[in-house]
Structure 1
């Protein structure tokens, strides 16, 4: 059973403080207030850490973020970091964007109960091999060298699939595969050169090799989320599980600050609406966030988003049906040994649409 609940916000408060959040050195300990089981009053300001994001940049450049903040009397201050996990775990942010399947480890590191209160990006990663390879599935890669950008993150889900599909163990430091961790922009190149037999790739960081056919995706180019919908979801048309970016905060913080939490999800919901209406413009405006340099590469990722998989959700708001399906993912992780049986269930907060 999941522990989703509905929070009703109270009245909006004006911003009492503004400024720029300083990005402090990340650590693994919680803030003193959190250790005492307390939560601070946000007082109209939300500190959020996230990886660089083109939709956020678009909303800032178009004045959308400022307009909505002024209307609500709430301000979102962001730190941009590829180490969102570390910044949040060190107590330097109220909200973090993280993969849903990473939340149990996040709670273990911080010692604090968290809650998922919004969604944004599904898991877009694919499994690809060299054009010379005869492999058809992950099962054919036993004993082979597989490159990925993280020992956790997307590798967790491909490890779940390896266990479910062929009872193989995909993990760092052992198991049935040779797992090599590198930067995401280097992974496809290693497969192309033959330095790795396969790669867990992000398509937007693998454009040259995918577009010239040097690497070929398995599973008909399906992402983790598309495979999950096909094999494990009660709704094969719902390709929003699992989430590679959910909005996560300490449970006590969301309960104390429902206005600020609600505004954050409302703001990001406007973002995914902008994405749906201006996707190609956003790709063209911020090609660095899609690792697309040339016009041809921009066109490739735009076509991939149209014809293969668009990993942005239609709405950032949660509902009970979605929560139930995402919770089933957690049970699958228990079944395959990626979380312990006695690990507490994920907590979800269903916020009303503002």
Structure 2
């Protein structure tokens, strides 16, 4: 048994584990409303909401650590807060308690998840690097002066990849079937991914989403990928007409209809090949006035999640200890 600061630290970590699990469950409920109404808001709001959802278990866990910590600074009378939720044996930690088992299992899961994520990313990165080195891509330039790498590959594809120094690749199979204006639109779209460092942020987003159940994980990733594509499309419309961008999307999608769908969404940003109809719809019907009520409700749900998590952590704590020792 431990007492003092070490016991406090271990107990707070067990609080974080419970809060993390509650955060996962909270997102499963809240995301149903937020994701279904996401397109009613501007891009900046959508980015904020998606990152808030995917990172929710982490900041909820941090909030609960601060909330239950005996060292927190309270600016108001703390009596009500202590009645609302408290951890009554924060100074004592037993290795035979359920807290210890919880921490042990959580540590194993976290290590496994980190190793698996690194392994998957490394495997895909090596495979992509080998492919790109094999194709011997050559430097090329569009008629409007933008540089890209041209790959002698028959498959019609254009994409951006690279974490620290993203690069744009266009296959000869695509270049030969489109005109100069369409190539300019495609490369401008990929330049938007380069500027936003989308390949890097997609990997980070995917890593955070990997802690969710598969259905929620896939939904969050798909929504984020779609959003990055819409934002890149929007950047292109600053130089080209929305209809021209939409037509290019449709033409490229027709060329790519036979391509497999199980590509790497995490580290590569593709032009076309996914969510084409939704992207075209956004191009043809841009949002001029976002839904204020949607934003207010979404922010209210996000704000209440950590408070409810703190209460639920306390309730779970007492329920569990009805059957197990501290």
Classify the TM-score, shorter chain.
under 0.3
Q: TM-score with structure 1 length normalisation?
A: 0.24
Per residue, is there more strand in 1 or in 2?
1
Per residue, is there more helix in 1 or in 2?
2
Q: TM-score with structure 2 length normalisation?
A: 0.25
